[in-house]
């Protein structure tokens, strides 16, 4: 850090000063400020580096202490020894870094012909300035050794305490912002996002249905149902209705997972093995994770179930969002089936697989190279799975006894009982 001759810090400081002196003619004022800053920082580094080195290796031995001191093992000392050896090796032979640095060269960011690293560049202005910095730094060390090293830093310059206060202020401000935006309560703002999406697509979808409505209806009258696909779709609907009417957590979870695995089979019927495999992995992982989570809840946690069967305004609002989302997706699927776009994404990917991605397997190139749509689909699947898990967990709220335990702990530990209104009295200190 002191930039002593023979170390890697000396080489880096010389190169930095060399670049600044090269810009002296064009930017004298800026270069002057930068050089002054470098000189001031380097003087302080030389002074405290000299204090560390000389006081550790040449200073008086400390007084013996009462507790036993364990010398660091060779394995612990080997790491700083290795790093210090590299600093000396590359400081004495900086040309060893030429080829490794060229391997990381980026066209347009670095010079086409970078300067070679040498220990000796001749008598240059930067060498004279570095020598002056070392001499003045040792002089500063000698002066402080005579005057004493006890420094009284004014409170205004205590940047470490300012940084800590800034971190605390940042934490408080983020908490206030989180509470104001309800960012820690997804159920508050997710319906708003979904409503905004539905309203933004409603006008264009309505115009499309008015224009293509007869053609869509004609296509529906020609549709011939497939028995296996229709049976699978019906089973998916029944399994999806399970969490609405089943009472136990495990039953709801198994019902929701059954719907996910039936969707996996539906992908198989459409000959989409990659989608089926992704869905199967997600369903298996979510099923195991949520089962482990539910196993940590006490049996009394299910006693606080809310009565969601009444048609409250919030339930009616959620019902409208659910139906609107389902109708939107269904309408988009019907429109794309009746009026497919002329710009087929699949054909475009197949055409660009070999020239752009240099691959003959379209599935691999989509997953690895054309990853934007694939990542969007994966995020959507994960979001749906997480929302399903949140819906299962958030349907229940704690009982009054559970809330008391979460806030105060068990009664046996000197905390008030459930119905007690007396304040907690501190215990008398022990005479022992």
pLDDT band at 412 (very low <50, low <70, confident <90, very high): very low
Confidence of residue 310 (pLDDT cuts 50, 70, 90): low
Encode pLDDT of 150-203 as tens digits: 777 788 888 889 999 999 999 999 999 888 877 777 777 778 888 888 888 877
- The chain-wide mean pLDDT, for the chain, equals 79
- Top pLDDT among 18 and 341 is at 18
How many other β-carbons are positioned within 10 Å of the β-carbon of residue 141? 20
pLDDT at 378: 80
Beta bridge partners of 107: 110
CB of 367 within 8 A of CB of 374?
Answer: yes
pLDDT at position 319 over 90? no
Q: Which residue, 298, 290, 292, 295, is CA-closest to 386?
A: 290
DSSP 410: -
Over residues 354-371, mean pLDDT: 78
- pLDDT the model gives residue 426: 44
> Does residue 311 have a pLDDT over 70?
no
Q: Please report the pLDDT score of residue 407 as a whole number.
A: 56
The pair of structure tokens assigned to 410 is 């068990």
**What is the arithmetic mean of pLDDT over 426-432?**
45
**Rounded Cα distance, 331 and 310, in Å:** 30
CB 17 within 8 A of CB 129: yes
Long-range contacts of 216-221 (CB under 8 A, 24+ apart): 216/334, 216/335, 216/338, 219/334, 219/337, 219/338, 220/334
Segment 103-124, tens digit of pLDDT: 888 877 777 777 777 777 778 8
In this predicted structure, what is the pLDDT of residue 166?
94
> How large is the angle between the packed helices 249-269 and 273-295, nearest 10 degrees?
170
Domain boundaries, the chain: 8-58+79-151, 187-224+308-340
* Per-residue pLDDT at 305: 52
What b/e sequence results for 195-207 when a residue is b if at least 16 CB atoms lie within 10 Å of its CB, and e otherwise? eeebeeeeeebee
Indicate if the pLDDT at residue 15 is higher than 70: yes
> Mean pLDDT over residues 27-56, rounded?
90
Q: What pLDDT does 296 receive?
A: 72
Secondary structure letter of residue 303 according to DSSP? G
pLDDT of residue 406: 56
Query: Residue 78: what pLDDT?
Result: 95
What is the pLDDT at residue 167? 94
- 3-state SS, residue 396: strand
Residue for token pair 């994966």: 378
**pLDDT bucket at 135, cuts 50 / 70 / 90:** very high
Rg of the chain over Cα atoms, rounded to whole angstroms, equals 36
């Amino acid at each position: 850090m002191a930039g002593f001759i023979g170390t890697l810090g000396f080489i880096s400081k010389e190169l930095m000063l060399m670049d600044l002196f090269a810009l002296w003619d064009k930017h004298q004022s800026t270069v002057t400020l930068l050089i002054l800053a470098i000189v001031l920082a380097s003087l302080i580094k030389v002074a405290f580096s000299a204090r560390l080195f000389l006081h550790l290796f040449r200073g008086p031995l400390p007084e013996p202490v009462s507790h036993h001191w364990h010398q660091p093992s060779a394995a612990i000392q080997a790491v700083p020894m290795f790093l210090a050896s590299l600093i000396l090796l590359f400081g004495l032979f900086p040309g060893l870094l030429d080829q490794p640095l060229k391997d990381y060269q980026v066209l347009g960011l670095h010079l086409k012909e970078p300067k070679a690293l040498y220990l000796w560049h001749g008598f240059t202005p930067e060498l004279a300035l570095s020598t002056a910095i070392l001499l003045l730094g040792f002089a500063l060390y000698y002066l402080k050794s005579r005057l004493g090293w006890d420094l009284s830093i004014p409170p205004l310059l205590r940047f470490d305490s300012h940084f800590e206060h800034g971190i605390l202020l940042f934490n408080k401000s983020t908490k206030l912002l989180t509470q104001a935006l309800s960012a820690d309560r997804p159920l508050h703002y997710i319906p708003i996002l979904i409503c905004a999406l539905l309203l933004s697509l409603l006008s264009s979808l309505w115009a499309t249905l008015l224009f293509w409505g007869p053609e869509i209806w004609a296509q529906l009258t020609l549709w011939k149902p497939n028995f296996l696909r229709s049976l699978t779709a019906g089973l998916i609907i029944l399994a999806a209705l399970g969490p609405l009417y089943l009472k136990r957590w495990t039953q709801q979870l198994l019902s929701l997972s059954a719907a996910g695995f039936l969707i996996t089979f539906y992908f198989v019927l459409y000959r989409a093995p990659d989608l089926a495999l992704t869905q199967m992995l997600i369903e298996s992982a979510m099923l195991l994770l949520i089962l482990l989570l539910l196993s940590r809840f006490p049996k009394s946690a299910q006693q606080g179930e809310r009565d969601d069967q009444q048609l409250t305004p919030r339930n009616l609002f959620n019902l409208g969002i659910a139906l609107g989302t389902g109708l939107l997706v269904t309408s988009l699927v019907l429109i794309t089936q009746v009026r497919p776009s002329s710009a087929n994404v699949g054909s475009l990917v197949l055409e660009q697989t070999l020239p752009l991605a240099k691959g003959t397997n379209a599935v691999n190139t989509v997953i690895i190279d054309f990853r934007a749509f694939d990542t969007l689909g994966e995020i959507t699947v994960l979001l749906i799975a997480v929302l399903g898990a949140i819906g299962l967990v958030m349907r229940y709220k704690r009982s009054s006894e559970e809330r008391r335990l979460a806030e105060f702990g068990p009664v046996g530990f000197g905390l008030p009982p459930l119905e007690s209104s007396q304040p907690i009295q501190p215990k008398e200190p022990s005479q022992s």
